[in-house]
Amino acid sequence: MKKIIITLLFFIFSVQNANSLIKVDITRGNLDPLPIAVSPLHVDEKSEDLKGLKEKKLGEEISKIIERNFKSTGLFNPLKKDAFVQKPDIAHIKPRFEDWRLIKAQALVTGKILVKDKKLKVEFRLWDLTAAKEMVALSFTTTPTNWRRVAHIISDKIYERLTGETGYFDTRIIYVSETGPKDQRIKKLAIMDQDGNGTKYLTLGNELVLTPRFNPTNQLVTYMSYFKNMPRVYLLDIETGIQEVVGNFPGMTFAPRFSPDGKKVIMSFAKDGNSDIYSMDIETRKVERITEHSSIDTSPSYSPDGKYIAFNSDRSGLQQIYVMRSDGTQVKRITFGKGLYGTPVWSPRGDLIAFTKVRKGRFYIGVMRSDGTGERLLTENYYQEAPSWSPNGRVLIFYRETKSDSKGKGFSAKLWSIDITGYNERMIKTETDASDPSWSSLLSK
Partner 1 sequence: MSRGLLFSILFHAFVISMTVLTLPFMLRDPVDLPPIVSVEFIQITDKTNIPFAPKAREILEKVKKEDKRVVSEQAPPADKAKEKPDRIPMPEDKKEIKKIVKKKQNPEEIKPQIRQASEFEKKELFDPDQIAALIDKAKEEQAETQKKSNKLTQSSVKDSFARGLSLSEEDALRAQIFGCWSVPLGLPYDEKLLVRIKLKLKQDGTILKSEILDHERMNTPGQSFYRVLAESALRAVRICQPLKVPPTGYERWKDLQLNFDPTEMLKG
Rule CB under 8 A: which residues touch partner 1?
13, 16, 19-34, 74-75, 98-99, 101-102, 106, 128, 130-131, 162-165, 351, 394, 419, 421
**Minimal distance, residue 29 CB to partner 1, in Å:** 3
Compute the distance between CA of residue 37 and CA of residue 54 in angstroms, rounded to an integer. Answer: 23
**Minimal distance, residue 39 CB to partner 1, in Å:** 18
Check: CB of residue 321 under 8 Å from CB of residue 372: yes
Nearer to partner 1, 27 or 330 (CB): 27
| Residues in contact with 72: Cβ distance below 8 Å, sequence separation at least 6, in sequence order | 195, 417, 426
What DSSP letter does each residue of 331-363 carry, written as one string? -EE---SSSEEEEEEE-TTSSEEEEEEEETTEE
Check: CB of residue 430 under 8 Å from CB of residue 423: no
Nearer to partner 1, 234 or 355 (CB): 355
**Minimal distance, residue 37 CB to partner 1, in Å:** 15
Instruction: Say whether 51 sits in a helix, a strand or coil.
Output: coil
Nearer to partner 1, 33 or 260 (CB): 33
What separation in angstroms does the CA of 172 have from each of 162, 195, 274, 359, 380? 22, 8, 35, 32, 26
Check: CB of residue 428 under 8 Å from CB of residue 415: yes
Compute the distance between CA of residue 295 and CA of residue 280 in angstroms, rounded to an integer. Answer: 21
**Minimal distance, residue 156 CB to partner 1, in Å:** 13
| Residues in contact with 224: Cβ distance below 8 Å, sequence separation at least 6, in sequence order | 209, 210, 211, 231, 232, 233, 234, 253, 254, 255, 256
For residue 134, the one-letter residue type is E
Nearer to partner 1, 98 or 327 (CB): 98
**Minimal distance, residue 137 CB to partner 1, in Å:** 17
Nearer to partner 1, 7 or 197 (CB): 7
**Minimal distance, residue 399 CB to partner 1, in Å:** 25
Nearer to partner 1, 158 or 280 (CB): 158
**Minimal distance, residue 33 CB to partner 1, in Å:** 8
Nearer to partner 1, 61 or 128 (CB): 128
